[in-house]
Amino acid sequence: MSSSLTVEQLRSKLHDLGLDTKGKKADLRTRLKKAIRNGSNSPPTTSDESKSTDATWEPEFDTFLVLDVEATCEATRKYRNLQHGFETGSFQYPNEIIEFPVVLLRWNEATHQLDTAGVYHSYVRPTFRPQLTKFCRDLTGVTQAQVDAAPTWSDVVEEFFRFLRSHDLVEDTSKGKSQLHNFRLKRGVAWINHGPADLRDFVIKQCWISGHPRDKTDGAPPIFLRGPLIDIRKGIAGLFKWEQELRVDQTRTASSRSTPFPEFGGEDGFQVISPPPPAVKEDARSTGLTPHDQSLAGLLDLLNIGPFQGRQHCGMDDTRNISRLVIEVARRISLAAQGTQVLLSKSYESVDGQMEASAAVMQLDARTGLVRARQMEKLVLRPNVRLDGVQKRWFWMGRAVGEVRWPFPPEVEQQGAK
């Protein structure tokens, strides 16, 4: 579609999307195609919408439940049963949740930022394999005494449900008698994890292990533990890619403005070839974030709010640091709506080996700022993980709810191991 548009039409569409409108036709066309491909295209602006460009940005989701569980685990990475010729990876292990920490964040309309509105924390007593391995204790910092004295998963869910009700975060979907299992999160409330596994895998495994054969729920989690879910790692990675494309467009536009050479008609009447773009590894830009960059510590550095505070793999400390990410992202979205877009700060190396110094801030007009803020929110602070697979099953799940058929014996600690 963009190939048939005139220069003025291309610039008009880019302006509606809050993107740079300067440059040659080929650059404008490429910029518009990228915007459409990345989902930043929006319907034509009506007269009513144009009147609302002066409105301040308000988040679609204004309440977040930040969660990072810790669960039982073993040092084994590949399980092999030679007798039956069977092997499987550690992701199949029947993990049981042993720490369940939640930080509640709420949007403050007065200060235009997220505030901590509450904290829930409980250790959980495992029942399938109640003895923690040394590997698990060393990794999570959870002690055997802590889980031995803790409530079971069913009791933790009931206690956490009371926490949700005390903050008015759930509503009943029961058609008859009210049941805890049928409560869901209210509109505007979402879960946030670093990665999708906490709700997608660990909670589903735990609900099956802790379930009873006569349960009408068939071992499925309560509705309020089924999302909606935001994977902050996935969201920030998408934001990073989008911002890098904005930087590339800005660099190309600046280059085309600075060159003194016309595309056609030199002083002698011959065609003049435009100079090549700056020697920047744009292919490196498109690779996105490395696994380290997407770690919790890496994301904190990327947003310039590092280092990690506390002990890594401690559930409560992990959750608090994820909350720091969410608060900072929301702050940047609010700033963009006010005309200042603060960019993620990963550096790239140019072809000549020198570190490229890209501007860390973009100043925007009111309309562009509002459009950018909405796109940033769409990328990072809206649900981006589907959790409709509540009937997800692992091979070790028996016929009846609560039945675990894990064919491998528990790890045995060596005598004298510290």
CATH architecture of 1-54: Orthogonal Bundle (1.10)
User: Has residue 167 got a pLDDT over 70?
Assistant: yes
Contact 186, 61 (CB under 8 A): no
222-228-230-231 Cα dihedral, nearest 10 degrees: 50
Instruction: Assess whether the previous peptide bond of 277 is cis (omega < 30° from 0).
Output: no
Q: Give the pLDDT of residue 385.
A: 94
Q: Do domains 1-54 and 60-259+309-329+383-412 have the same CATH topology?
A: no
pLDDT category of residue 224 using cuts at 50, 70 and 90: very high
pLDDT category of residue 252 using cuts at 50, 70 and 90: low
**Share above pLDDT 90 across residues of the chain, in percent, rounded to a whole number:** 58
Instruction: Assess whether the previous peptide bond of 44 is cis (omega < 30° from 0).
Output: no
Let me know the angle formed at the C-alpha of 242 by 286 and 331, rounded to the nearest 5 degrees: 135
Q: Give the pLDDT of residue 30.
A: 79
pLDDT category of residue 335 using cuts at 50, 70 and 90: very high
Answer CATH for 60-259+309-329+383-412 from 1.10.10.370, 3.40.50.620, 3.30.420.10, 3.30.70.20: 3.30.420.10
**Residue 328 C-beta-side C-alpha neighbours within 13 Å:** 19
Q: Give the pLDDT of residue 414.
A: 62
**Tell me, what amino acid is at 381?**
L
Token pair 């700060």 is at which residue?
Answer: 345
The rounded distance, in Å, linking the Cα atoms of 322 and 320 is: 5
Contact 57, 375 (CB under 8 A): no
Q: Give the pLDDT of residue 345.
A: 80
Q: Give the pLDDT of residue 52.
A: 45
Average pLDDT (392-409) is: 92
Q: Give the pLDDT of residue 253.
A: 61
User: Has residue 352 got a pLDDT over 50?
Assistant: no
Residue 99 belongs to what H/E stretch? strand 97-108
Hey, which of 63-67, 303-307, 349-353 has the most confident mean pLDDT? Answer: 63-67
Looking only at the bridges linking them, the beta strands covering 70-71 and 97-108 are: antiparallel
Radius of gyration of the chain (CA): 26
- Residue 352 makes CB contacts below 8 A (sequence gap 6+) with 279
**Residue 338 C-beta-side C-alpha neighbours within 13 Å:** 10
Contact 319, 103 (CB under 8 A): yes
The larger pLDDT score, comparing residue 299 to residue 355, is at 299
The rounded distance, in Å, linking the Cα atoms of 106 and 326 is: 11
- Name the token pair of 63: 């309440």
pLDDT digits (tens, 9 = 90+) for 257-285: 555 544 544 455 545 455 554 444 444 34
Name the β-bridge partners of 80: 87
Residue 64 belongs to what H/E stretch? strand 63-67
Q: Give the pLDDT of residue 133.
A: 96
Name the β-bridge partners of 371: none
User: Has residue 12 got a pLDDT over 70?
Assistant: yes
- Name the token pair of 29: 């066309």
Let me know the angle formed at the C-alpha of 354 by 283 and 346, rounded to the nearest 5 degrees: 55
Token pair 């003049």 is at which residue?
Answer: 272
SS3 category, 373: helix
Nearest Cα neighbor of 147 from 157, 138, 137 is 137
Reported pTM: 0.79
Q: Give the pLDDT of residue 285.
A: 41
DSSP annotation of 53 reads: G
User: Has residue 288 got a pLDDT over 70?
Assistant: yes
The larger pLDDT score, comparing residue 22 to residue 349, is at 22
Q: Is 195 left (phi over 0), alpha (psi -120 to 50) or beta?
A: left
Q: Give the pLDDT of residue 22.
A: 72
pLDDT digits (tens, 9 = 90+) for 78-121: 787 656 556 677 889 999 999 999 999 999 999 999 999 999 99
Contact 157, 222 (CB under 8 A): yes
Q: Give the pLDDT of residue 44.
A: 44
User: Has residue 251 got a pLDDT over 50?
Assistant: yes
Inter-CA distances, 197 with 95, 202, 211, 290, 321, Å: 11, 6, 20, 19, 17
Q: Give the pLDDT of residue 369.
A: 94
- Name the token pair of 396: 């070790």
- Name the token pair of 334: 């609010």
Q: Give the pLDDT of residue 28.
A: 75
Q: How far apart are the first and last CA of the chain?
A: 67
**Tell me, what amino acid is at 271?**
Q
Name the β-bridge partners of 363: 340
Domain ranges across the chain: 1-54, 60-259+309-329+383-412
pLDDT digits (tens, 9 = 90+) for 131-143: 999 999 999 999 9
**Share above pLDDT 70 across residues of the chain, in percent, rounded to a whole number:** 78
Nearest Cα neighbor of 192 from 221, 162, 230 is 230
User: Has residue 11 got a pLDDT over 90?
Assistant: no
